[in-house]
Structure 1
Amino acid sequence: MKLYYSPGACSLASHILLKEVAADHAIEKVDLRAKTTETGADFTSVNPKGSVPALALDSGEVLTEGVAIMQFVADTGGVAELSPPVGSLARARLQEALNFISSEVHKAYSPLFRGPSEEAKPAILENLTRRLGQVEAILADGRAYLTGPEFSAADAYLFTVTNWSGMLNVDMSAYPALAALRDRVAARPSVQAAMKAEGLI
Structure 2
Amino acid sequence: MKLYYAPGACSLSPHIALREAGLPFTLEKVDTKTRTTETGADFTTVNPRGYVPALQLDSGEVLTEGAAIVQYIADLKPEAELAPKAGTLARARLQEELNFIASELHKAFAPLFSTTLGDDARREAKEKVARRFGDVEQKLSDGRPYLLGETFSVADAYLFVVTNWANHTGVALDAWPKLQAFMQRLTGRNTVRQAMQAEGLI
Shorter-normalised TM range: over 0.9
User: What letter matches 2:96 in structure 1?
Assistant: E
| CA shift in 2, pair 1:88/1:78, >3 Å | closer
Residue aligning to 1:191: 192
Query: 1:156: which partner in 2?
Result: 157
2: CA distance, partners of 1:46 / 1:160:
23
User: After the TM superposition, which of the residue ranges 83-92 and 146-155 deviates more from structure 2?
Assistant: 83-92
Instruction: Note if 1:113 corresponds to 2:100.
Output: no
Structure 1 CA distance for aligned equivalents of residues 15 and 163 of structure 2: 16
SS at match of 1:3: strand
Q: Distance in 2 between matches of 1:190 and 1:113?
A: 26
Does the alignment pair 1:77 with 2:82?
Answer: no
Q: Which residue of 2 aligns with 1:179?
A: 180
CA distances 1:74-116 after superposition (whole Å, capped 9, x unpaired): 0112335212112212111111000000000101101101132
Q: Deviations over 1:154-180 (max 9, x none)?
A: 110000011011111101100100011
User: Aligned equivalents of 2:83 and 2:157: distance in 1?
Assistant: 14
Residue 11 (structure 1) aligned with residue 11 (structure 2): yes
Q: C-alpha separation between the residues in 2 aligned to 1:119 and 1:158?
A: 26
Maintained 8 Å contact 2:20/2:80: no
The DSSP-based 3-state class of the residue aligned with 1:167 is helix
The amino acid of 1:157's aligned partner reads Y
Name the CA distance, whole Å, in 2 between partners of 1:196 and 1:120. 33
Show the counterpart of 1:169: 170
Q: How far apart are 1:189 and its partner, in Å?
A: 1.0
- Unmatched 5+ residue regions in structure 2? none
CA distance in 2, matches of 1:170, 1:159: 14
> Structure 1 length normalisation: TM-score?
0.98
Partner of 2:43: 43
Mapping of residues 65-144 of structure 1, within 5 Å? 65-115=65-115, 116-144=117-145
Identity fraction in percent: 58
Letter in 2 for 1:180: A
Q: Residue 64 of structure 2 aligns with which residue?
A: 64
Q: 2 CA distance for matches of 1:29 and 1:79? A: 29
> In the aligned structure 2, how far is the partner of 1:168 from the partner of 1:101?
17
Unaligned 5+ segments in structure 1 are none
- Residue identity matched to 1:36: T
Q: Deviations over 1:127-165 (max 9, x none)?
A: 110000000000000001011101001110000011011
Q: Which runs of 4+ in 1 moved over 6 A?
A: none
Alignment root-mean-square deviation, CA? 0.9
The Cα offsets for residues 47-89 of structure 1, whole Å up to 9 and x where unpaired, read as: 1000000000000100000110000000112335212112212
Query: Which letter does structure 2 place at the counterpart of 1:112?
Result: L
Quick one: distance in 2 between partners of 1:74 and 1:110?
27
Q: Is the Cα contact below 8 Å between 2:21 and 2:80 reproduced in 1? A: no
